[in-house]
Amino acid sequence: MAAAVLVGGALIGTVATSGAAQAATTGPCDIYASGGTPCVAAHSTTRALYGSYNGPLYQVIRSSDNTTRDIGLLSAGGYANAATQDSFCAGTTCLISVIYDQSGRGNNLTRGPAGGYVPTPDNLANATAAPTTVGGHEAYGVYIAPGTGYRDDSTSGIATGDQPEGIYAVVDGTHYNNGCCFDYGNAETTNNDDGNGTMEALYFGNASYWSTGSGTGPWIMADMENGLFSGTNVGSNSDPTINNRYTTAIIKGTANQWAIRGGNAQSGGLSTFFSGARPTGYNPMHKEGAILLGIGGDNSNGGAGTFYEGVMTSGYPSDATENAVQANITAAGYTTSSGGTATGAVHAVGAGKCLDVTGVSTTPGTQVQIWGCNGQANQTWTHTTSNQFTVTIGGTTLCLDAYNNQTTAGTKVETWSCTGGANQQWTLNSNGTITGVQSGLCLDVSGASTADGAAVELWTCNGQNNQQWTLS
């Protein structure tokens, strides 16, 4: 789509667990194949989508030396071996350079090239910006900030013309914006707007330029080029707002018929939000068969979202098949925390940097800041069962502290000797914020700065991305 921003991240506690969920013996693509609509593209950075798959999930490139490393699985049919990424990327920044196609067709996603709307290549996603837990294991999603995008213009097996297909994705329902367009699916091979019906992609967000659903969004809609559609007609339709932390989103289409389905990727089944005829001017379709993620068909790259897994099928899947896939997704065990005490870096989502004790200081009263992530002790925090954040530097353990028990916006956040007071207790919220128990205010990067050394303070919660944090 042509381009016409609330960014969220979830708080992650990653800890070692015993009796972690075992890898599924059947993946979503095995289920689709049994239903007669096999996967022709299967992308995930968190787990295998076939029970027998044992290849790489994605590739990262590190900024320190431009070396790449494939990130594979803990076992065949299992979960991502995120420890490989953690080790390879320690002390530097890594970007996701390739998302491999598990279907065997070679439909791999790489950096989106220049297009008709944005005439320069897209950015690559920060490899650590979307930590998650799946099946009790640490993993990372694909964090799409505006300007980020992936594409494959030379594909195999993807629907063209009016051929039927199905698309699903698991996304972060709290990370979205109204920019165009956080898409996953079928697009033009030319990287230009080639007219009505030349796309059929799943869109997630609250853009309201063409159509909307009910409420304020976000909505699952279809990008069919020159329009995001929530029903047969342009405009407002009954397609509901859906914003589960982990959301299953589905679009499927065949001759003069298409549907929107969705549900909570952690529990429950799917609902059908729309099923009916194509919009006027979109029958027949003229799909071209490229695949994109995070961008529109003409490289409009103003969208935002987080992608964990998704597939494209040959053929129009039945509701029963999709229901079985949903059951597989919920059984996979996506969660923002594996419970208990969590230790790791606290990532400032909006800046792509880490919560840092200034100057590696052990002096109580040192204001905390953000700084490029380096894995050092002054960036390693433990969120305890008593809701404290502690940091240990050179044998000295300090607590994250709201200065002088103050509860007003602009209060300095510092390190201090641990007292157990309410001004040293912090709540990790499912919407990605960290709030002070005493004040109810949000941990905030001052002025929404992205610069090294930007101060961290308390501020009224406002839903902006400088108040979004992840712990991994």
Residues designated catalytic: 225, 298
Contact 144, 307 (CB under 8 A): yes
**Phi and psi, residue 51, nearest 5°:** -60, -25
80 sits in the region (left: phi over 0; alpha: psi -120 to 50; else beta) called: beta
Burial of 198 (0-12, 13-18, 19+ CB in 10 A): buried
Q: What share of the chain is helix, strand, coil (3-state, %, to 5)?
A: 10, 35, 55
Assigned token pair, 68: 């790449």
Number of other residues whose CB lies within 10 A of the CB of residue 65: 8
Assigned token pair, 118: 């944005």
- Would you give the distance in Å from CA 383 to the centre of its chain? 23
Assigned token pair, 64: 């320190």
Q: How many CA atoms lie within 13 A of 204 on its CB side?
A: 33
CA 436 – CA 459 distance, rounded (Å):
10
Which residue type is seen at 381?
Answer: W
CA 129 – CA 137 distance, rounded (Å):
17
Assigned token pair, 211: 């159509």
Assigned token pair, 407: 């509860």
Nearest to 9, CA basis, from 411, 345, 389: 345
* Alpha-carbon torsion (223, 225, 230, 235), positive or negative: positive
Task: Render 64-91 in DSSP notation, one character per residue.
Answer: TT--EEEE-BSSTTSBB-HHHHHHHHTT
